[in-house]
């Protein structure tokens, strides 16, 4: 079994007190993950762009201790964040079999997000991957034989156990997570950098995130994934996602941005179709979301500029477009789309290379 590779056999704790910091970005799925099996195993493969400006930076202070059990405190923007601690406790329990030193230290986790708290942007992908990377850094300090590829594979593996989409954050700019017959080394346990041919038009691809609704998520990911268990269209959806990924392989190679736009939008709408037709059902788009989607499609057909949208499980819109001609699209966004955002808010981002260590 692949996961046995991530169990440390000859554990000996040689570290004294110290501190490590990692910055890990958020990512946006083009082919979505929605539906999973036990152990955070995805029902279909997904593919994402790793972002740059939306990131979490986490500093992990560690100090040896002799008592058993986990001992950690979480601080968000300098304030103790008690409400995050149960989630981290669950995460520690899931990853403990792979990190035998977790009980050997008292940890202080200090974290901040580059994007505002109430922006409606999920911080689980960036947040859990940043913590996983800090923990892997400790493993590497104790086990100097850890290679760079093992480091990132296991970081993604651990991130996945916190939040599925977090498995796609440590590396970039394009990551695949989940087994797909046409993508070598793709697997359900960790994300891999997409190594197939990618047209240069996708370099530094822009993602402007329009903040339509900045409140709490209406459907938690846990509930959303579980709704796929008895969903009448689940099997068809999982097949569709695998087929969309096959189509994406060819689009990434040819750089046909109109095919890209069509595919990415159909994927986003299919994700929402699953929520619209689950039991209970959820309408996560707001009237302003729909207005924005329509304006993007009209702009594309009128100007022949290949701008498109994608959505997460919420009302916010990610506007995707190539670097060439980005100023024109940004002008359109500012003038015609931001009036539909909450307080006119939006975040400018682009694809990036993944996590980095902060010294």
Residue 347 binding ligand PMV, by CB under 6 A: no
Strand 105-113 relative to strand 71-76, pairing: parallel
Total residues contacting ligand PMV by CB under 6 A comes to: 13
34, 92, 299, 346: which one binds ligand PMV (CB under 6 A): 34
Choose the stretch contacting ligand PMV; rule: CB under 6 A; options: 112-120, 163-171, 184-192, 287-295: 163-171
Q: Note whether 117 and 107 are within 8 A (CB).
A: no
Residue 33 binds to ligand PMV (criterion: CB under 6 A): yes
* Nearest residue (CB) to ligand PMV, 31 versus 99: 31
Buried b (16+ CB within 10 A) or exposed e, 307-316: bbbbbbbbbb
Please provide the distance, in angstroms rounded to a whole number, between the alpha carbons at the two ends of the chain: 35
Q: Interface with ligand PMV includes 221 (CB under 6 A)?
A: yes
Q: Residues 270, 274, 276, CA angle at the centre, nearest 5°? A: 110
* Least distance in angstroms from the C-beta of 284 to ligand PMV: 10
Decide: 153 and 188 in contact? Cβ < 8 Å: no
Beta strands in 71-113 (DSSP E): 71-76, 79-80, 105-113
* Site membership for ligand PMV, residue 313 (CB under 6 A): yes
Pick the closer one to ligand PMV by CB: 312 or 350. 312
Q: Does 129 bind ligand PMV (CB under 6 A)?
A: no
Measured between alpha carbons, how far is 275 from 269 in angstroms, rounded to an integer?
10
Binding flag, residue 312, ligand PMV (CB under 6 A): yes
3 state SS of 244: helix
Residue 303 C-beta: closest distance to ligand PMV, Å: 29
Residues 266-285 that bind ligand PMV (CB under 6 A): 271
- Residue 73 has φ and ψ, to the nearest 5°, of -130, 145
DSSP β-ladder status, 346-350 and 206-210: antiparallel
Q: How far is CA 277 from CA 49, 240, 265, 286, 288, in A?
A: 27, 16, 18, 17, 21
Q: Which of residues 37-66 bind ligand PMV (CB under 6 A)?
A: 46
Stretch that binds ligand PMV, among 16-24, 59-67, 162-170, 338-346 (CB under 6 A): 162-170
Is 193 a binder of ligand PMV (CB under 6 A)? no
Closer CB to ligand PMV, residue 49 or residue 321? Answer: 49
Kindly state the smallest distance separating residue 65's Cβ from ligand PMV, in Å: 31
When asked if residue 109 is in the footprint of ligand PMV (CB under 6 A), the reply is no
Binding site for ligand PMV (CB under 6 A): 29, 32-34, 46, 124, 163-165, 221, 271, 312-313
């Amino acid at each position: 079994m692949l996961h046995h590779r991530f169990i440390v056999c000859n554990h000996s704790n040689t570290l004294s007190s110290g501190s490590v910091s990692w910055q890990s970005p958020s990512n946006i799925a083009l082919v979505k993950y929605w539906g999973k099996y036990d152990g955070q195993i995805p029902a279909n493969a997904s593919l994402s762009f790793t972002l740059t400006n939306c990131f979490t930076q986490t500093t992990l202070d560690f100090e040896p201790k002799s008592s058993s059990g986990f001992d950690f405190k979480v601080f968000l923007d300098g304030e103790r964040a008690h409400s995050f601690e149960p989630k981290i406790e669950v995460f520690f329990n899931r990853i403990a079999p792979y990190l035998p030193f977790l009980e050997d230290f008292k940890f202080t986790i200090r974290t901040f997000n580059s994007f505002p708290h109430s922006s409606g942007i999920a911080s689980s992908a960036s947040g859990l991957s940043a913590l996983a990377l800090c923990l892997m850094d400790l493993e590497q300090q104790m086990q100097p034989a850890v290679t760079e590829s093992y480091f990132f594979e296991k970081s993604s593996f651990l991130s996945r156990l916190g939040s599925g989409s977090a498995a796609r954050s440590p590396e970039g700019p394009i990551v695949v997570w989940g087994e797909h017959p046409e993508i070598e080394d793709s697997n359900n346990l960790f994300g891999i950098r997409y190594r197939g041919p990618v047209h240069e038009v996708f370099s530094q691809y822009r993602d402007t995130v329009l903040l339509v609704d900045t409140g709490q998520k209406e459907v938690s990911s846990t509930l959303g994934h579980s709704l796929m268990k008895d969903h009448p269209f689940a099997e068809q959806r999982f097949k569709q996602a695998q087929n969309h990924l096959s189509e994406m392989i060819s689009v990434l190679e040819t750089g046909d941005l109109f095919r890209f736009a069509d595919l990415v939008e159909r994927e986003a709408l299919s994700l929402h179709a699953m929520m619209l037709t689950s039991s209970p059902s959820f309408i996560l788009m707001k009237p302003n979301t729909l207005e924005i989607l329509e304006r993007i499609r009209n702009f594309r057909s009128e100007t022949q500029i290949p701008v498109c949208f994608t959505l997460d499980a919420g009302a916010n819109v990610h506007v995707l477009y190539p670097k060439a001609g980005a100023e024109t699209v940004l002008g359109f966004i500012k003038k015609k789309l931001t009036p539909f955002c909450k307080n006119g808010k939006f975040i400018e981002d682009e694809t990036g290379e993944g996590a980095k260590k902060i010294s």
